[in-house]
Amino acid sequence: MSERGRPRTFDRTAALRRAMELFWAKGYEGTSIAELTAAMGINSPSLYAAFGSKEALFLEATEYYTQAEGTEIWAALDEAPTACQAIENFLRQTAKAYSQTDRPQGCLIALGALHEDSSSGAICTDLRRRRAENLAALRKRLERGVAEGELPADFDCDAVATFYATVQHGMSIQARDGASRTALMATVTGAMAAWQVLAGPDRA
């Protein structure tokens, strides 16, 4: 009789990463339990024993994603000496991360679930919260630029943060549709040309 439950060699982190990559490629609703168990190398009782449910697995996978993927994108905001350079570095790192060929293209947080789902909205709510946190990080960096005198006191941090978050989301869709890194970098160039209008010609 075959052993039920997860094998003795079960590597939870490795299994979680494989689940993350599948959700990243196919989204929450587009990923089946059968596909998850095949990718993770475990049976369905093992999956439920280790992670509780498909919903709980997705939520844990997205947390793993935020810790393991694209960290250089957000580090770019704090490391750059000016807000302008921070935004440009943020977009350039986005283009590099979203166009890698050894993993799914685009962003799990942006593409994982855009509509209400079979989890009674818990998945969408979690992703919406994460996108809001990303927007807040952009706004905080721009507010720092105002506080340091780089940007004018009346600079609309909310509007500009929303604009560049929207650019990033668009880059995610472009990448998923097969856009090359060169094409994504061209988007970065266009978005930074808008900085001169948003911040004023003397603030570029």
pLDDT for 140-195, tens place per residue? 999 999 999 999 999 999 999 999 999 999 999 999 999 999 999 999 999 999 99
The verdict on 99 and 23 lying in the same domain is no
Q: How many folded domains does the chain comprise?
A: 2
The verdict on 175 and 107 lying in the same domain is yes
Cα separation, 74 vs 134, whole angstroms = 8
Residue 50 placed within a domain = yes
pTM for this prediction:
0.89
Contact 141, 78 (CB under 8 A): yes
Q: Which domain holds residue 93?
A: 70-199
The verdict on 46 and 140 lying in the same domain is no
Residue 150 DSSP symbol:
S
CATH of the domain at 24: 1.10.10.60
Give the residue from 164, 25, 177 showing the smallest Cα distance to 93.
164
pLDDT tens-digit map of 189-200: 999 999 988 887
Domain end position, chosen among 31, 49, 66: 66
Residue 7 placed within a domain = no
The verdict on 173 and 110 lying in the same domain is yes
Residue 143 placed within a domain = yes
